[in-house]
Chains A and B, each alone.
Chain A
Amino acid sequence: MTVLDRVETPERSSVEERATDALLTCIARFGLSKTALDDVADVAACSRATLYRYFDTKAELVRRTVDGELDRLTARAVDAARGERTLGDAVVALVTTAARDLVGHRALQFLLAHEPESILGYLAFGAGDRLLVRVGDAFSPALTRWLPADDASRAGDWLSRILRSYVLMPEPSIDLTDTTEARGFLEELVIPGLEHPVSNTQ
């Protein structure tokens, strides 16, 4: 029994992981409103009873999936900036990586195109406030080599706003997945203000 007890935790995380992956697969195929927990169980190849033990409702599964995807995508963007030698290069790496992940995210793109009401509740107005604080803080470790912690969070917030406006909203005018285009835009308009902010007392 002790051996089985010890595998409890990895097993739990693997069911959760399979369920959230399966939810994303279902959304990319059918959308959110047409996906039921039973469909998720089928795709995840786990029993309904097992799935229902971890997620009481579809809303709960959606919430944990959004949480997990936010953590995963921000970590990938921060990781991409890790080897860079200047603040400007780190900003370009972070923004282009996040932009490519968002544009290539099939579940997210399906929702934006076909069921915007399901996703805008996480992105706009009051929910946007919480999202920007969270993503800004998650981005900040990529920038603390060059900026004090407060400035890094502030810069992270600003970069998450840029991604929200130029990548997630309709009719983007600049393609931030394109490194050359992104670099030109970021170096001209964004990085100077992050690199040399006016101090608050000026």
Chain B
Amino acid sequence: MSDTPRERVLAGAFECIARAGIAKTTVEDIARASGVSRATVYRLFPRGRDELLRDTVAWEMARFFAELAVAVGSMPDFETFLERALPLAREELLGHAVLQKVLETEPDRLMPLITVEQHHVIEYLAAFFLPLLERDRAAGLVRGTVDLPRAAEYVARMALSLIASPGRHDLGDPDDLRRLVRSELLGGVLA
């Protein structure tokens, strides 16, 4: 494997959580699963288990969205990208076995971790969306006055909201989805 030691430890920690849950996962377990010594784990994560668990959640969330971006592929414009990505993200989230299991068995431990780490995901998604918006602006699809970094962050937050809690919306319904993308998400952005 070409992974860095840090990534190996994060992958090991994820594996431990998948197997035993958050509460039962110790630094020893993680060291064993990732094939490094306890000392190495503490060198990489000096603040110990809590830091390691938080970083593992952030790492898995980033991996989730990176894989999603690959699955969606390149799209002609941001609007089409969102129409393709939102239902797929929802489907992948419901199909994420470890997330669903831990949400079921240890929601009190998982939700604070996800909530605290979600601003990394928002930054990550916003950084991914910004060039797509800039490309749309160059193509004349975006209003000239719109603050694009702020718009990218807005869409990142609200996309995350829809994926985690669709509420009254059905992302699998093309009419609802189209309206969400063109009105609620991009109504102020599209020319």
Q: Tell me if B26 counts as interface (CB < 8 A to partner A).
A: no
Q: Are A189 and B165 in contact (CB-based, < 8 A)?
A: no
The contact string, 1 if C-beta is below 8 Å from chain B, for chain A 163-202, is 0111001110110000000000100111111111111111
Q: Are A124 and B115 in contact (CB-based, < 8 A)?
A: yes
Q: Are A116 and B168 in contact (CB-based, < 8 A)?
A: no
Residues of A contacting B153 in the complex (Cβ-Cβ under 8 angstroms) = 173
Min CB distance A74 to B, Å, is 15
Task: Point out the residue from B109, B145, B161, B187 that lies within 8 Å of A196, measured CB to CB.
Answer: B187
Q: Are A188 and B147 in contact (CB-based, < 8 A)?
A: yes
Question: Which residues, 125 to 184 on B, are CB-close (under 8 Å) to A?
Answer: 145-147, 150-151, 153-154, 157-158, 160-162, 164-169, 175-176, 178-179, 182-184
Task: Point out the residue from B112, B167, B182, B184 that lies within 8 Å of A116, measured CB to CB.
Answer: B112
Q: Are B168 and A133 in contact (CB-based, < 8 A)?
A: yes
Residues of B contacting A128 in the complex (Cβ-Cβ under 8 angstroms) = 164-165, 167
Contact A170-B164, Cβ < 8 Å, known A192-B188, A193-B183: no
Residues of B contacting A191 in the complex (Cβ-Cβ under 8 angstroms) = 188
Q: Are B119 and A171 in contact (CB-based, < 8 A)?
A: yes
Q: Are B164 and A189 in contact (CB-based, < 8 A)?
A: no
Residues of A contacting B175 in the complex (Cβ-Cβ under 8 angstroms) = 200-201
Residues of B contacting A116 in the complex (Cβ-Cβ under 8 angstroms) = 111-112, 115-116
In this complex, what residue of B is CB-closest to A161? B161
Residues of B contacting A192 in the complex (Cβ-Cβ under 8 angstroms) = 187-188
Residues of A contacting B119 in the complex (Cβ-Cβ under 8 angstroms) = 169-171
Contact A197-B111, Cβ < 8 Å, known A173-B153, A188-B147, A189-B154: no
The contact string, 1 if C-beta is below 8 Å from chain A, for chain B 96-125, is 000000010001110110111011000000
In this complex, what residue of B is CB-closest to A173? B153
Which A residues lie at the B interface, using CB under 8 A?
Answer: 116-118, 120-121, 124-126, 128-133, 136, 153-154, 157-158, 161-162, 164-166, 169-171, 173-174, 185, 188-202
5 residue pairs bridging A and B, Cβ less than 8 Å apart: A120-B107, A128-B164, A132-B165, A165-B158, A198-B179
